[in-house]
Amino acid sequence: MFGVLHLLIQVLGLLAFAMLVPAAIAIVGGDAENAENFLLVAGLTGFIAGAIFFALRGRPWRLGRFAAFMLVLSVWVVPPLIAAVPIMDGVGIGYLPALFEAVSAYTTTGATTLSSLDAVGPAIIFWRAELQWLGGLITLISIVMIVAPAGVGGLSNRYLSVLGPAGEGSLSRSLATARTVTLIYSGATAFCLCLLVIAGIPVFDSICLAFATLSTGGLMPVDGTLADYHRPLAEVVIAFFMLVGGTSIVWQRMILQARWALVAGHRESYWVIGVSLLVGLFYAAEFADDPETGLSGLTALGQGLFTGISLITTTGFEVAFDGLVALPIAVAGALAIIGAGTMSTAGGIKFFRIGGMFVQSMHEMRRLVYPHSVRSKHFGSQPYDIDLMKAIWAGAIVALGFVTVSTLLLTLNHPSFHGGALAAISAFSNIGPLYAAEWDGSAAWPAYAEFDAFSKIVMVVTMIVGRIEAVALLTLVNLAYWRS
């Protein structure tokens, strides 16, 4: 387990370093209490990480498959436990609500227990945004370095070589892959930030929005919606970069390398974009027909496309209050469960698996008519065989099973089954604002802050499992692995 500790302390070191930024913001703003909290937690975290690092120096370590899954679980569980401490002290809430807030930000869910940000200092607001960005980066790195190479849930490693050199050793290649992912993710964030500033968004808000957009997190730096900024160009920028966050980083690397044949064959990314725009058209039609909004055709089209992209990429941003509720709750929930692209920061089951199940289902239907026919099975450039399909179906069924269990647990103390189901979907697919929207009958639903302790714990676990492949999590609790 030395390999797990060796890499986990590097994540904790990064977390400690990240706390220095909100500490500096608090110092500049004259908020000595928050500055002290961040510096104290950062110092303790950095000291512990450094002590473990020096204690492990010279010790040989390797990262086997089981240890790799343990690492994925550790990097999603341990950092939020630490990140919640400055939130608890800075906002003046209990540890469990602060943990809910930290996990929601770190898993890019965007659910919040804070009723208003007016009384929250800029250091805490920035810390939430920073946690979103870090969570998005950890999502990408864990997928391309551990989950996809292991083939968990049917994820393919077919084109991972575009992210790192193929001729080096496993550790060197993993580090090169992580470096490439970090550069692409950071570059896209910086580009989004610059465009938002050009569009007229204040610099502090632009940073927070850029972090939330590329990570598909959805936490706003202010109360209200993006429409309150009155910057249509900023909405266009955010819509574009939500698609960047919701499509595969492998596909984006292919574009940067001008490998156009591979770009054209990566069918999943085009499905993500196409379905987002199609759902956006449905939203636009609903907005245009709504007599209460009174939107013109062009305005309704723009807001509809933005809302469709926000839903499919599991970001949850809105350009108007409760724009997400224009679709029926069952349709919106189903689309949220599907999510966006694999190897992206979006949540959900992912289009790759849905496409594979659709292709396999059509193949089986053709076999009923032509039992002895021989046909190749592809989804874009990705071939499907029986082993891959078993993994895909297993991953999808386990994910849906976990959503079902989470729904049953949440509805124990929830006044509405629909509300409990939507809360479970929102947590698992990491799109917290979906539950918070004002659906028909949701006036009686408790807000996230009003959830009891048990429901908050269920939500925290569900948000984390939504980021960890549920099949990998089942592997960790498989007694056969422990016995071996």
Write out pLDDT tens, residues 234-266: 999 999 999 999 999 999 999 998 888 888 888
CB 47 within 8 A of CB 15: no
Coil/strand/helix, residue 225: coil
Query: Has residue 448 got a pLDDT over 90?
Result: yes
Query: Has residue 290 got a pLDDT over 80?
Result: no
With respect to residue 340, please indicate whether it lies within any of the assigned structural domains: yes
* Average pLDDT taken over every residue of the chain: 86
Provide the b/e sequence for 77-92 (b: ≥16 CB within 10 Å): eebbebbbbbbbbbbe
Percent of the chain with pLDDT over 70: 87
Pure H helices in 290-414? 297-312, 329-338, 351-369, 386-410
End-to-end CA distance of the chain: 15
Query: Burial level of 457, CB count in 10 A (0-12/13-18/19+)?
Result: middle
* Residue found by looking up tokens 């940073």 in the block: 207
Structural domain count, the chain: 1
pLDDT of residue 289: 73
pLDDT of residue 398: 86
Pure H helices in 143-202? 170-198
Instruction: Give the mean model confidence (pLDDT) for residues 78-87.
Output: 95
With respect to residue 124, please indicate whether it lies within any of the assigned structural domains: no
CB 304 within 8 A of CB 285: yes
Pure H helices in 92-169? 95-106, 122-142
Q: Which domain holds residue 283?
A: 131-484
With respect to residue 143, please indicate whether it lies within any of the assigned structural domains: yes
Query: Has residue 326 got a pLDDT over 70?
Result: yes
pLDDT band at 274 (very low <50, low <70, confident <90, very high): very high
With respect to residue 14, please indicate whether it lies within any of the assigned structural domains: no
Coil/strand/helix, residue 383: strand
Residue 379, strand partner residues: 382
pLDDT of residue 455: 95
Which of 94-103, 437-446, 472-481 shows the lowest mean pLDDT across its residues? 472-481
Instruction: Give the mean model confidence (pLDDT) for residues 185-192.
Output: 96
Q: Of the candidates 320, 395, 353, 346, which has an alpha carbon nearest to the alpha carbon of residue 243?
A: 346
With respect to residue 248, please indicate whether it lies within any of the assigned structural domains: yes
- pLDDT greater at residue 223 or residue 63: 223
Query: Has residue 434 got a pLDDT over 80?
Result: yes
pLDDT of residue 168: 43
pTM of the model: 0.91
Which of 112-121, 267-276, 386-395 shows the lowest mean pLDDT across its residues? 386-395
pLDDT of residue 411: 93
Query: Has residue 371 got a pLDDT over 80?
Result: no
pLDDT of residue 3: 67
pLDDT of residue 415: 87
pLDDT of residue 484: 53
With respect to residue 36, please indicate whether it lies within any of the assigned structural domains: no
pLDDT of residue 167: 41
With respect to residue 182, please indicate whether it lies within any of the assigned structural domains: yes
pLDDT digits (tens, 9 = 90+) for 143-184: 888 887 777 766 766 777 788 764 444 556 677 788 899 999
With respect to residue 32, please indicate whether it lies within any of the assigned structural domains: no
Query: Has residue 380 got a pLDDT over 60?
Result: no
pLDDT of residue 72: 86
